[in-house]
């Protein structure tokens, strides 16, 4: 077939398709007119039974009118003035239903996991050290590094979402902790790992649990380390137990994406870095957290590691994806996740997601170091005549260090920029080309740099003098001899 003949055939096919489309449109219009004339006119059965003037229509008219009035606010902010709120909400309902259906299909039918055997989640035997909290709950914890009595520095690290006490500072070596004299303490959040759930937990109760844990293990002041969404609990510690903290170290710190003090530009930069699916998940966490249970049971609580890996990869940069393929990271990630979901209960995860996107009970601006203004009255003036007034401050007095990967797609750098605007005293360490995992996961040199920044030159654990031990031993011997002699005299 020549080129000329091919062009003619193409034109004929195009014209035929146009004609068929026009005929289909006209056919649809004709069917619509027939339905309107036969079923929707004043004398039709449907109109007589369900129309505006029917008994059913009169019963529904009042509730529909009230519903439209309640939904009228939607017009002022999101819709043109000529749109009926009832019509708008019907569209919203349809789009939401369609979104749920698409997400369900995506979670249930993952082509990437059907080509290879599915790894199953293994529930390991209990292995954690646990203690009883004042309210009767058990909390599981893990200690690394030097003992609390020999530590120059103590660190408590609440874990992130879909993690456990095994995380802490992933891959940090005990030899490095001993070199700096660090006592690292990690624990399972309520309902995660081997910790009992909390019936009504919030961020204040999270900070209280942290303080009780420190008391139980003989820790006085400590540094709090927050990574990713675990930073939410670190922020709570800065707000509710500031006197217990020596400082804070944050890595890709999560903040509330709905924080009212965020500017429109800061919010836009943050949300634009997330996939639409992740945006939808945050929307559910904010508005309808109960619906999250549906997706969690079909992803990381499904008992299949393929679904867990897929959940993690909702938004990752190139370096993070490369790190995930490393066998050491993969083994650690698998064990950490298995411990996190060992109870098989969806409620703690829903609670954690809802805490991220709801009102925290405080603002980051409450942590800002600022001078307290004194009231100007006669008593204050007379007091200042005889006693030199000392400046009083509010907010967190200790140092705050933040490390942020500039290629982070999970917690965008715009969140750290927002924190720096609210807390200008925080030291920001921006990491070019680093992602969400690559700086803190299994990087010996990175861990050394972090500890050096926080604690300076390594000096090892605190040394306990042998002379002090000898004196204590002699004192105990003398006390025992005195008791023995008194007993003999009595006899």
Domains held by the chain: number: 1
The CATH code of the domain that includes 458 is 3.40.50.1820
Domain assignment present for 428: yes
Q: Residue 351 falls within a domain, yes or no?
A: yes
Residue 479 in domain: no
**3-state SS assignment for residue 144:** strand
- The rounded percent of the chain whose pLDDT value lies above 90 is 50
HEC secondary structure over 6-30: HHHHHHHHHHHHHHHHHHHHHHHHH
Q: Which residue has the higher pLDDT, 80 or 222?
A: 222
E-assigned strand segments in 252-396: 370-371, 393-394
> What's the pLDDT at 482?
56
Residue 357 lies in a domain: yes
Classify residue 49: in a domain, yes or no: no
In a domain, 100, yes or no: no
Select the more confidently predicted residue: 7 or 290: 290
- Taking a C-beta distance cutoff of 8 angstroms, is the pair 186, 129 a contact? no
Residue 195 lies in a domain: yes
| Residue with the larger pLDDT of the pair 141 and 310 | 141
The pLDDT mean for the chain works out to 80
> Which residue intervals of 40-165 are DSSP H helices?
45-50, 55-70, 73-78, 85-108, 111-114
| pLDDT: which is higher, 137 or 110 | 137
Range of 274's domain? 119-369+396-462
- pLDDT tens-digit readout, 128-186: 999 999 999 999 999 999 999 999 999 999 999 999 999 999 999 999 999 999 999 99
165 in a structural domain: yes
pLDDT digits (tens, 9 = 90+) for 311-350: 565 567 788 888 888 888 888 988 999 999 999 999 999 9
């Amino acid at each position: 077939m020549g080129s000329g003949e091919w062009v003619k055939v193409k034109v004929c096919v195009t014209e035929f398709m146009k004609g068929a489309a026009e005929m289909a449109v006209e056919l649809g219009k004709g069917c619509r007119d027939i339905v309107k004339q036969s079923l929707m006119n004043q004398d039709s059965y449907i109109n007589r039974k369900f129309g505006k003037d029917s008994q059913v229509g009169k019963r529904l008219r009042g509730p529909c009118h009230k519903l439209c009035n309640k939904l009228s606010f939607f017009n002022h902010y999101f819709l043109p003035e000529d749109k009926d709120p009832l019509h708008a909400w019907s569209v919203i309902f349809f789009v939401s239903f369609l979104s749920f259906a698409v997400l369900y299909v995506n979670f249930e039918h993952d082509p990437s996991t059907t080509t290879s055997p599915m790894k199953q989640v293994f529930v390991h035997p209990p292995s954690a050290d646990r203690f009883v909290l004042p309210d009767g709950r058990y909390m599981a914890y893990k200690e690394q590094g030097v003992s609390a009595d020999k530590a120059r520095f103590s660190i408590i690290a609440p874990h992130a979402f879909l993690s456990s006490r095994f995380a802490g500072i992933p891959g940090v070596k005990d030899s490095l902790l001993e070199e700096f004299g660090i006592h690292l303490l990690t624990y399972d959040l309520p309902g995660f790992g081997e910790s009992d759930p909390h019936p009504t937990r919030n961020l204040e109760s999270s900070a209280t649990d942290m303080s009780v844990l420190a008391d139980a293990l003989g820790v006085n002041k400590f540094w709090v380390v927050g990574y990713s969404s675990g930073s939410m609990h670190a922020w709570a510690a800065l707000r509710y137990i500031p006197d217990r903290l020596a400082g804070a170290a944050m890595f890709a710190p999560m903040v509330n994406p709905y924080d009212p003090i965020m500017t429109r530009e800061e919010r836009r930069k943050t949300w634009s870095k997330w996939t639409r699916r992740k945006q939808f998940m945050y929307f559910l966490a904010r508005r309808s957290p109960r619906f999250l249970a549906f997706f969690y049971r079909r992803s990381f609580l499904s008992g299949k590691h393929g679904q867990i890996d897929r959940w993690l990869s909702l938004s990752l940069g190139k370096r993070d994806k490369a790190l995930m393929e490393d066998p050491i990271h993969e083994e650690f990630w698998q064990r950490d996740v298995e411990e996190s979901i060992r109870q098989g209960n969806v409620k703690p995860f829903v609670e954690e997601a809802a805490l991220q996107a709801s009102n925290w009970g405080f603002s980051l601006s409450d942590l800002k170091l600022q001078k307290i203004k004194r009231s100007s009255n006669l008593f204050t003036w007379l007091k200042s005549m005889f006693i030199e007034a000392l400046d009083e401050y509010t907010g967190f007095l200790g140092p705050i260090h933040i490390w942020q990967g500039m290629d982070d797609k999970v917690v965008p750098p715009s969140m750290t920029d927002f924190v720096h605007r609210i807390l200008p005293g925080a030291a920001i360490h921006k990491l070019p080309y680093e992602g969400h995992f690559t700086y803190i996961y299994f990087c010996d040199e990175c861990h050394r740099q972090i500890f050096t920044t926080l604690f300076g030159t390594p000096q090892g654990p605190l040394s306990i003098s042998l002379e002090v031990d000898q004196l204590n031993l002699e004192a105990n011997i003398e006390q025992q001899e005195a008791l023995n002699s008194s007993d003999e005299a009595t006899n």
